[in-house]
Chain A
Amino acid sequence: MSATPFLVLSAILFTIGCVGVLTRRNAIVVFMCVELMLNASNLALVTFSRVHGNLDGQVAAFFVMVVAAAEVVVGLAIIMTIFRTRRSASVDDASLLKY
């Protein structure tokens, strides 16, 4: 079972996450795309863990999940706060800090 297809899939998912962050305007969807990127990296970590024959990669993936959970909690709270004040979840609306 070769590792390369997993890694390529990980790269593709990561790229799709990137493009999603760049193109979607709904903050929640943008956030989902960030999660997608994190998951893609997790896949790579797990794959590398298998390649190297030790569990450190899996531990790293585990930590990524923990951090992602924390991040989601805070991030969604922020989105809520913004939505509460602006009645909008669009990331383009929060563009006052500019030229």
Chain B
Amino acid sequence: MIAFWVLAPIMVLAALGILVVRKAVHAALLLAVVMISLAILYLVQDAPFLFAVQIIVYTGAILMLFLFVVMLVGVDASDSLVETIRGQRAMALVVGVLFGVTLALGVAQVSVGAIAGLSEANSDGNVEGLAQLLFKDYVFAFEVTSALLITAAMGAMVLAHRERLTPKPSQADLARRRMRDYAEHGRHPGPLPNPGVFARHNAVDTPALLPDGTPSEASISRVLAARGTVQSAPELADDIEQLYTGEEDEK
């Protein structure tokens, strides 16, 4: 019971956190908290097999899948929390709270009666007990789930598969397209210039200098530019005299 009273507030807070955090990654992490806590509660309630399954399947597989998709969709794609449907949030809260209160009250009211406990059922071990049930009483349901899983795997493949509508461009095609872009739009045909030539810092954040001495915007990643962590070449050049001299000294 101690485990419950420790974990329950954590779970509720984590669950509420899912409602309010902006980023999907954070939501996934909060969900992981809830799930691991749940696993412990399973263990507390004499369900060691489900504890393992909860950790392995849910936290290990399903949540990883979520994270994969979140990364595919874009980690940065954060939700704006401004509600677009008028009245939706208020109504959702009202109905949800009413529902929760009703449900909790209803559950609390029901006299569950004496708790049988699982010590007898688990006398041969929890896993053995479950196996007895699964492969005897629930064997058909169990077999059907295999069909369900295969179908789901097939479905996911079909959905994720993209039909190629145009022939795959060959290297010659790409070269031709680059030259055409250059001719029509003046787009630079060659590879972009490499970033910074000064290896004093993280060189990728330093723009390259063009022959006339101006820094080239195209030489650094757009992500770094957006973050505003780009070094400016003149700043770096402040102590260049000294460096030159120092080097000369060493030589």
Q: Which residues of B66-102 have CB atoms within 8 Å of chain A's CB atoms?
A: 66, 68-70, 72-73, 77, 79, 83-85, 88-89, 92-93, 95-97, 99-100
Given contacts A6-B45, A13-B11, A16-B19, contact A89 B152 (CB under 8 A): no
Q: Which of B50, B65, B77 touches A26 (beta carbons < 8 Å)? A: B77
Closest chain-A Cβ to B16's Cβ sits at a distance in Å of 6
Contacts of A53 in B (CB 8 A): 116-118, 120-121
B185 at interface, CB cutoff 8 A: no
Q: Which residues of A38-62 have CB atoms within 8 Å of chain B's CB atoms?
A: 39, 42-43, 46-47, 49-56, 58-59, 61-62
Q: Which of B30-38, B195-203, B231-239 contacts A (4 or more CB under 8 A)?
A: B30-38
Q: Which of A7, A20, A66, A79 touches B19 (beta carbons < 8 Å)? A: A20
B223 at interface, CB cutoff 8 A: no
A23 near B1 (CB under 8 angstroms)?
no
Contacts of A36 in B (CB 8 A): 15, 18, 31, 34
A9 near B11 (CB under 8 angstroms)?
yes
Closest chain-A Cβ to B11's Cβ sits at a distance in Å of 7
A4 near B160 (CB under 8 angstroms)?
no
Contacts of B99 in A (CB 8 A): 15, 18
**Which range contains the number of B residues in contact with the other chain?**
35 or more
B46 at interface, CB cutoff 8 A: yes
Contacts of A46 in B (CB 8 A): 41-42, 45, 47, 50
Contact with B along A8-26 (1 / 0, CB 8 A): 1111111111111011111
Chain A binding site: helix, strand, loop or mixed by DSSP? helix
B149 at interface, CB cutoff 8 A: yes
Contacts of B49 in A (CB 8 A): 58, 62
A14 near B103 (CB under 8 angstroms)?
yes
Contacts of B18 in A (CB 8 A): 16, 20, 24, 29, 32-33, 36
CA distance A61 to B4 in the complex (A): 19
A residues neighboring B (CB under 8 Å)? 1-20, 22-26, 28-29, 31-33, 35-36, 39, 42-43, 46-47, 49-56, 58-59, 61-63, 65-74, 76-81, 83-84, 89, 92
Given A3-B112, A6-B4, 11 further pairs, Cβ under 8 A = A9-B8, A11-B107, A13-B34, A14-B103, A22-B92, A24-B79, A29-B27, A62-B50, A65-B54, A76-B66, A92-B84
